[in-house]
Amino acid sequence: MQIKPGMEKISNSKMLTGMFGAYSKFTINVKLLIALTFAGGIGGGMTWFMLTLYMQSVGFSFENIGWIGGIGGIATTLTYLITPAVANSFGKKNTLYAGYFLGILSAVILLIKVDLVLYIISSIVGGIGSALVGPTYITVLSNMAERKIGIYVFSFQSFSQQIGMSIGTIMGGVLPAGLTHLSGNVIIAFWWSIVLAVLINTLQIVFLFFTNVENGIKLHGFSLKMKDRIKITKFGITNMFIGLGAGFVIPWFPLFFTNKFFLSQYPDFNTAYANALPLVSLIMTISSIIMSFSFLVAPFFAERFGQVKLIVGSQLLSVLFLFLIPFAPAFLFAGTLYIIRTILMMFSSPIATAFMMSAVDPEDKTNANSITMFAWNAAWSVSYFSSGWIWAMSPDYLLPFALCSVFYITSSVLYFVFFINIERKEKIAEKTKRKE
């Protein structure tokens, strides 16, 4: 049926009213949890952008960087196996405290000494902290959010975290670049920038202190007694293929842009970094900011086109732009492709989280998060660990991008096959309920 212009205007107006009305219903605890991830986004954005560049600047090879990231990913993966049990035994709030503390400690270890073993320990500690926080935080936020506004809670949480990461990313580029110009040493510049990131990350613990976290339902750990075992397995499989693809490319983007477009243009390492960091971080910040606002309107598109179609369609389209990036002849062109690719790939991520939370039994929520994150991180760890060799033996950088594209396409196709009928059944049930 064709929608007349007037009808479309009214429909859009009602959707926007409903959207902002839903945001106004957030409780103080939901707002504190969102503020927490905003602060973590700033500190995490700084660290994420600087880390591989810092490791290259102190002399680590591509292979070393892959080992450090991959081993940390393995620690994350194994910790996901026990996170539900830890959260149930020690309380969700205490589990979050432990996770955030370990994340801070991980960054502090980087400041002690440049040593491969220490950096691997740092990665392991950070990986354990990340695994304790991830599924616990999502479950706490899900339990606090009313079902009707769940997709809005997750969308605004993703928006806030992404805005924080945008701020952190630009700080992670501009601050060390400025300090490099002042000191003439990019390593010193990175060191002091990481100190600032650590201080910002402590705000997560402050916000958590004022948040009232209820333990709620005692949730199950990994068990064959899961009520939604088949569904959760399918979510895990699709996440596994995304993780496989991501490990080959995503952690390497700052290095890719810097090495491909800047190192050969300047006479020394410090000058190249000082000129590259602001521009590379700017490209990534622009993509993060646009992506942040896309999270806010994602529920609007999900309601109009359907959650599964939106998730699959945006991800498949993103692969085209991802594959073209290494062929770009200039930084501006590559950066533009990166922005489009990132927005399309991540646009529907809060919808995917909300869809999984609504599809599984309430008692399986923590388990679902743990298993899907386990699958993603297990795959990511394998590909990240081996990606250093692949980047080292692929001077044109085509191979890692090609591998990433193949795995992303596989995940998207499987997601559609696995879940399109679930969404259709939910829509039929809703229509039947309305008629009654």
Residue by residue, DSSP assigns 276-310 as HHHHHHHHHHHHHHHHHHHHHHHHHHHHHH-HHHH
Which DSSP state fits 4?
A: P
5 found inside a domain:
no
84 found inside a domain:
yes
8 found inside a domain:
no
CB-CB contact of 154 with 137 (8 Å): no
Question: Is the pLDDT at 227 greater than 80, yes or no?
Answer: no
Structure tokens that stand for 220 in this block: 């199950």
**pLDDT number for residue 386:** 92
Q: How far apart are CA 310 and CA 151, in angstroms?
A: 14
- Find, among 393, 416, 293, 403, the residue nearest to 350 by Cα: 293
Q: How far apart are CA 43 and CA 172, in angstroms?
A: 9
Residue 371's pLDDT band (boundaries 50, 70, 90)? confident
Q: How far apart are CA 374 and CA 240, in angstroms?
A: 8
Q: How many CB atoms lie within 10 A of CB 431?
A: 10
Residue 155 phi, psi (nearest 5): -65, -45
Mean pLDDT of the residues in the chain: 85
Structure tokens that stand for 432 in this block: 């039947």
Question: Is the pLDDT at 15 greater than 50, yes or no?
Answer: no
Q: How far apart are CA 106 and CA 119, in angstroms?
A: 9
128 found inside a domain:
yes
Q: How far apart are CA 99 and CA 121, in angstroms?
A: 15
**pLDDT number for residue 8:** 39
pLDDT exceeding 90 applies to what percent of the chain?
A: 55
Which DSSP state fits 3?
A: P
308 found inside a domain:
yes
* Total domains present in the chain: 1
213 found inside a domain:
yes
12 found inside a domain:
no
pTM of the complete model: 0.82
**pLDDT number for residue 1:** 30
Structural domain range at position 336: 26-435
| pLDDT one-digit tens code per residue, 169-217 | 999 999 999 999 999 999 999 999 999 999 999 999 999 999 888 655 5
> Can you give the CATH number for the domain in which 380 is found?
1.20.1250.20
CB-CB contact of 284 with 252 (8 Å): no
Residue 225's pLDDT band (boundaries 50, 70, 90)? low
**pLDDT number for residue 265:** 85
> If 0-12 CB within 10 Å is exposed, 13-18 middle and 19+ buried, where does residue 84 land?
buried
CB-CB contact of 248 with 394 (8 Å): no
Q: How far apart are CA 156 and CA 375, in angstroms?
A: 25
4 found inside a domain:
no
User: Which has the higher per-residue pLDDT, 253 or 424?
Assistant: 253
Q: How far apart are CA 185 and CA 167, in angstroms?
A: 24
**pLDDT number for residue 138:** 82
| pLDDT one-digit tens code per residue, 53-105 | 999 999 999 999 999 999 999 998 889 888 888 888 888 899 999 999 999 99
Question: Is the pLDDT at 14 greater than 60, yes or no?
Answer: no
